[in-house]
Amino acid sequence: MTARKILFTLAFFVVWSLIMPQFVSAEEWVSFPAKKDVAPDKVWTVEFNTAIDPKTIHSEDIYVVTVDGKQLFMPSYVQEDGRSITVLPPPDGYEPGQTYTLFIKKQVQSANGRSLKAGYKMTFTVQRSATHQPEDEEVLSYGTVTASILNVRAEKTTASEKLGELERGDVVKIYRFDGYWAEIRYHDQIAYLHKDYLKLRKANGGIVEGLNIIIDAGHGGHDPGASDRGYNEKEINLDVADKVQHNLQKLGAHVLLTREDDTFLPLKGEGSRVEFSREHYGDIFVSIHTNAAGNESSKGAETYYDSLKDDNVYEGYLLAKNIQEQLVNMAGMFDRGVKNNNWTVIHYNPIPSVLVELGFITNPSDFDKLTSPAFRQVYADAITLGIVNYFKEEVK
């Protein structure tokens, strides 16, 4: 062989092996090493070195065969990366102890129209008992999905491979948290869910234990908010927020105040109330305000959610409803109802977020409550119970 021929041959093999190594064999089927003790709900992901044409994925080309020759066609789909085929287990799972062979027929084509030179084949045996299931690990929390569809991710980023989807009301076991990401098991794999769309409940402990609750005392610093007869909204809001924090901490929650003193924070953007909530991986956000009107007759409490935000609208509504109920029941406030408005602090906050108006500083009866240290504790107790009741409420 001339040097040039050798070079060509070498280049040919390099390109060939880069593009489709499993197509090299002249055999009808390329066998992959057998796998033992796979979980009954094992999801197979077969990776190819080239993009697969999803239109060439037909259920009759992807199937398993049992040792006694029974053939089962498998639900399969091409992953978002375009290069892997995911083969889902049968609806009731594989039979424990049974041996199967998975076939992917060569009718599957790459995106550039080439067929496989040979099919793909792999034998696997299903475990007899679930002795080494990851379920043996300690469950930290339970999470109920609040989004209509929640993607299950392979890694802690929305850019990672999507392993599947969960629906509103689905409950998952959570083994640990890392920022926004909740680690779960999806079939037998480690997987992640974004916790903005999970209603959390500690596996052992109180209803709000371990939750990140963000309490926002409205206004502050150069912005006093509403004022009347020497009293400022910013001071009332902060006092009630402090008391809510104290209450919830006693119940085991991790409570963070957007401001702890008389300082001003912007609503959104850098150093803002919304950013604070995101930076601390808040589970819910409650902004506390005091109302004012040009007349003395306007009175009562109202709690806002925002129907125009992208996420957790219904959860925001439920949180508002539960808090409003207690402002009426416990604090005896006139019921102005649950209201809908796209206030900045709740609109740009993806987690369930509400804005509470305790009462009108310009109304004599509300004024007495808002300026009484004892009654501020009642407000705080009402907000606390509203939050607890929200977390008690089942996701429907």
Closest separation between CB of residue 217 and Zn ion, Å?
10
In one letter, which amino acid is 79? Q
Provide the mask over 73-112, with x wherever binding to Zn ion is found by CB under 5 A and - wherever it is not: ----------------------------------------
Nearer to Zn ion, 142 or 231 (CB): 231
What would the 3-class secondary structure string for the chain be?
Answer: CCHHHHHHHHHHHHHHHHHCHHHCCCCCEEEEEEEEEECCCCCEEEECCCCECHHHCCHHHEEEEECCCCEEECCEEECCCCCEEEECCCCCCCCCCCEEEEEECCCCEECCCCECCCEEEEEEEECCCCCCCHHHCCCCEEEEECCCEEEEECCCCCCCCEEEEEECCCEEEECEEECCEEEEEECCEEEEEEHHHEEEEECCCCCCCCCEEEEEECCECCECCCEECCEEHHHHHHHHHHHHHHHHHHCCCEEEECCCCCCCCCCCCCCCHHHHHHHCCCCEEEEEEEECCCCCCCCCEEEEECCCCCCCHHHHHHHHHHHHHHHHHCCCCCEEEEEECCCHHHHCCCCCEEEEEEEECCCHHHHHHHCCHHHHHHHHHHHHHHHHHHHHCCCC
Nearer to Zn ion, 61 or 233 (CB): 233
What is the chain's length? Answer: 396
Number of residues that bind Zn ion (CB under 5 A): 3
- Per CB under 5 A, which region of 190-198, 283-291, 302-310, 321-329 contacts Zn ion? 283-291
Closest separation between CB of residue 329 and Zn ion, Å?
23
Provide the mask over 286-315, with x wherever binding to Zn ion is found by CB under 5 A and - wherever it is not: ---x--------------------------
Provide the mask over 218-237, with x wherever binding to Zn ion is found by CB under 5 A and - wherever it is not: x------x------------
| Residues of this chain, 320-339, that bind Zn ion according to CB under 5 A | none
Which residue matches tokens 């994925």?
Answer: 57
Nearer to Zn ion, 195 or 289 (CB): 289
Shortest Cβ contact with Zn ion: which residue? Answer: 289
Closest separation between CB of residue 294 and Zn ion, Å?
16
Closest separation between CB of residue 328 and Zn ion, Å?
20
Closest separation between CB of residue 223 and Zn ion, Å?
9
Could you say whether residue 350 binds Zn ion (CB under 5 A)? no
Closest separation between CB of residue 76 and Zn ion, Å?
55
Alpha carbon distance 343, 340 (integer Å): 9
Closest separation between CB of residue 40 and Zn ion, Å?
56
Nearer to Zn ion, 38 or 267 (CB): 267
- Per CB under 5 A, which region of 9-17, 48-56, 197-205, 211-219 contacts Zn ion? 211-219
Provide the mask over 109-138, with x wherever binding to Zn ion is found by CB under 5 A and - wherever it is not: ------------------------------
Closest separation between CB of residue 260 and Zn ion, Å?
18
Nearer to Zn ion, 30 or 358 (CB): 358
Closest separation between CB of residue 266 and Zn ion, Å?
14
What residue ranges bind Zn ion (CB under 5 A)?
Answer: 218, 225, 289
